[in-house]
Amino acid sequence: MPTLLLPVLALIAITPDPIAFHLGPLPVYWYGVCYAVGLAASYAVITREARRRGLDARLVDNGIIIIAAAALAGGRAYHVIDQWHLYSDNILKIFMPPYTGLGVYGGIFTGTLAAIYIIHRWKQPFWKWADVIAPGLFVMQAIGRWGNFFNQELYGPPTTLPWGIAIDCAHRVSDHGIPQWPCPAYPETTAFTPLFLYESVSGILGAIALLWIARRWGPKMRPGDLLLAFFMWYAVVRFWLETFREGNWTFFGAPTAMVVSTVVFLGAGAVLLYRHRPGAVFEPWGEPPIPDEDLYEDDEEILDDEDLEDEGELDSDDEVLVDDDGSDSEPDRRDEPRPEPDAEPDAEPGDAKPEG
């Protein structure tokens, strides 16, 4: 028999509207807004880290779109498989808005495959880019998980903790549509465990940790260690969160997310240990480039006289002047000697002397 809890005033006592605003007849959901903001913040972190580490940050502009699209497709596929009962009667619902169901592990899997493909296609060092991307993944999770708050999902059992959240009666169902903690037994003032908040806080702490480690020990680390640390960190957090949930998608009786988390943790840990086995030889990251050396603001180089002479673009007698705005001006020839006249000029009529 479930134990009735005393009514608790939740710290987050609101039950929000999942729709942020409308664009004409089209509703825009907070879930999508949160993930869009998370993607923008992730882009800022990844771009900054790429520049600091000496990688070509301009590649992020196109790369993040491709990876995000692949992650969205994988996350959606994971969710559909998990909750097939919601889509079995109408397959088109999989592709129609609102796209409020995403599975993180599905997104990580397809996003990683897309990253491997485009990084190798662009002939870039995969493990270095993996370390640059890892903090951005934490940032994405930290912000995007608030979309679950607006959808009133990803919560755990009733709690007396002061940071519990309110869940209205219509949303008190498991992931598979099974009613749980119904209002007749648990009044509307009941607080529930905010699992989305725990994952959000974990993302903030994880991003801070990876960025700090990259600055503290980054030059001596082997490229790729930060991504492996991300996998292990998230696997532990997700395994722990699954202990709060009921009605989970199971695999041979065990929650699927727990099974995947175990495989990810052991796999990433094994790769990390192998890469740092005794006697392993690797090239560390090395010191980042000089902070004030920016390779992306100016695409044009300003060449001095010697450079131009070596390239045969300037005669030895000419001089290139550079204005304050960086543009070249014509050589100043005011101090050059003027050519001697071929003959003396004719005398003026008034200067003629009379014959004597």
Residue spans per domain, the chain = 19-218
Q: What single string gives the DSSP state of each residue in 28-42? A: EEHHHHHHHHHHHHH
Is-contact 191 168, C-beta < 8 A?
Answer: no
Is residue 22 helix, strand or coil?
strand
Q: Is residue 49 classed exposed, middle or buried when 0-12, 13-18 and 19+ CB atoms within 10 A define those classes?
A: buried
Report pLDDT for 259: 93
Residues in CB range of 58: below 8 A, 6 or more apart: 296
Reported confidence tier of residue 248, pLDDT bands at 50, 70, 90: confident
> Shortest CA distance to 43 belongs to which of 55, 59, 20?
59
The bridge status of strand 191-192 relative to strand 250-251 is unpaired
Residue 82 binned pLDDT confidence (cut-offs 50, 70, 90) = confident
Is the pLDDT score of 97 beyond 90? no
The pLDDT score that the predictor gives to residue 105 is 87
| pTM for the full predicted model | 0.75
pLDDT digits (tens, 9 = 90+) for 208-229: 999 999 999 988 899 999 999 9
Contacts with 275 (C-beta within 8 Å, 6 or more apart), sequence order: 222, 224, 225, 282
Contact yes or no for 305/313 (Cβ under 8 A): no
| In the predicted structure, residue 321 carries a pLDDT above the cut 70 | no
Name every residue whose Cβ is closer than 8 Å to that of residue 135 and which is 6 or more positions away in sequence: 45, 46, 49, 206, 207, 210, 211, 214, 226
pLDDT score recorded for residue 50: 95
Span 171-189, pLDDT tens digits: 887 666 677 888 888 888 8
Which class for 26: exposed (0-12), middle (13-18), buried (19 or more C-beta within 10 A)? exposed
Q: Which pair of tokens denotes residue 102? A: 């995403």
* pLDDT for 184: 82
Query: Which tokens in the block code for residue 98?
Result: 């609102």
Q: Is the pLDDT of residue 280 over 60?
A: yes
